[in-house]
Amino acid sequence: MALLNFRKRETVENGTTPEMEAFLKGYSIEVMPRTAEKVEDFRALLAPGTRVYIAHIEGTPIEDMVATAKRVATDGYPVMPHFPARIIKDEATLADWIARYQGEAGVDQALLLAGGVNQPHGDFHSSMQLMETGLFDKAGFKRLHVAGHPEGNKDIDPNGGMKNVEDALRWKQAFSERTDAKMALATQFAFDADPIIKWVDDLSAAGIKLPVHIGIAGPAKLQTLIKFAIACGVGPSLKVLQKRAMDVSKLLLPYEPTEVLTKLAAHKAKNPDFNIEQVHFFPLGGIKTNATWAIENGGAGTAPAAAN
């Protein structure tokens, strides 16, 4: 398979703005073992240094997760597997997973999250409990990411609002101040820039300084995105998709994240202290489709030092 040309394209060729190129620099992307199997060569899709998250869905054997991590790492990419608290039975299981990832794939970074199951499989129900074990620190993990929810999370705040989510973020902010690991918030995807901007600004005003890696759904069929958005509890910005679905001229066209990213990129350019550090893509329409879109829209630069 021929490798894609990752050189920077001129703005006049594809309409990419310098703001968008800067905003997409160092983006990360997510795969699952079953989707990774369909990729012949990651080096044909992703720029050097791209961080690859590996999503751990309930029922996926740890052997498949570690094998995928090893393969992606062998292709030369920093790997960040998910550690969903509610599917980890106990501290011994957590220690075993950490050891496997390190020993077989050289992993030294992780996304810690509660996980999308209602009933915990064992002792853990939150990412904070995983951090409190001290096992990631003991293993020398250099980077720990935790979940962020720009539009709230009904699992954490069942009555709506953001109180419990914000309390958890304050705890994680304090944890980041007493650990050597680099931390960031990897967020759920959203489709409207305005709620994202407000959420990021509100966090900063509340003293939560963890860098935000904003979740963005990659190009996909509109019906696919609506299905995932409802399943994942995406809130106000779901209206963006619903409005698009009512427009017959757009209904059959694939959704692309151009509008939301253009607005966020412009806001970042005007407000350099705006606390979105990177973009994290959810390739709901396929990793090849997402990676190609990112390259064509300026996301072809090598990941910055922060991605290491």
Question: pLDDT tens for residues 207-264?
Answer: 999 999 999 999 988 777 777 666 666 666 666 666 655 554 455 568 899 999 999 9
Q: How do the domains of the chain map onto residue ranges?
A: 15-307
- Please give the structure tokens belonging to residue 155: 């699992």
Mean pLDDT calculated for residue range 266-286: 96
Of residues 273 and 11, the one with the higher pLDDT is 273
Flag the least confident range among 1-5, 218-222, 235-239, 270-274: 1-5
Q: What pLDDT score was predicted for residue 19?
A: 96
Q: What pLDDT score was predicted for residue 20?
A: 96
Q: What pLDDT score was predicted for residue 224?
A: 76
Of residues 285 and 238, the one with the higher pLDDT is 285
Of residues 264 and 16, the one with the higher pLDDT is 264
Question: pLDDT tens for residues 38-52?
Answer: 999 999 999 999 999
Q: What pLDDT score was predicted for residue 67?
A: 98
Mean pLDDT calculated for residue range 299-304: 54
- Percent residues over pLDDT 70 in the chain: 80
Quick check: 86 pLDDT over 70?
yes
The per-residue pLDDT of the chain, averaged, comes to 86
Q: What pLDDT score was predicted for residue 307?
A: 45
**Cβ contacts of residue 50 below 8 Å, gap of 6+?**
26, 27, 28, 29, 77, 78, 303, 307
Mean pLDDT calculated for residue range 158-183: 84
Domain 15-307 belongs to what architecture? Alpha-Beta Barrel (3.20)
Q: What pLDDT score was predicted for residue 247?
A: 54
Q: What pLDDT score was predicted for residue 32?
A: 96
pLDDT band at 10 (very low <50, low <70, confident <90, very high): very low
Q: What pLDDT score was predicted for residue 248?
A: 46
Rounded Cα–Cα distance for residues 181 and 175 (Å) = 10
Nearest to 19 by CA among 292, 208, 274, 207: 274
Q: What pLDDT score was predicted for residue 233?
A: 60
DSSP string for residues in 32-54:
-HHHHTT-S-GGGTS-TT--EEE
pLDDT band at 152 (very low <50, low <70, confident <90, very high): low
Q: What pLDDT score was predicted for residue 234?
A: 64
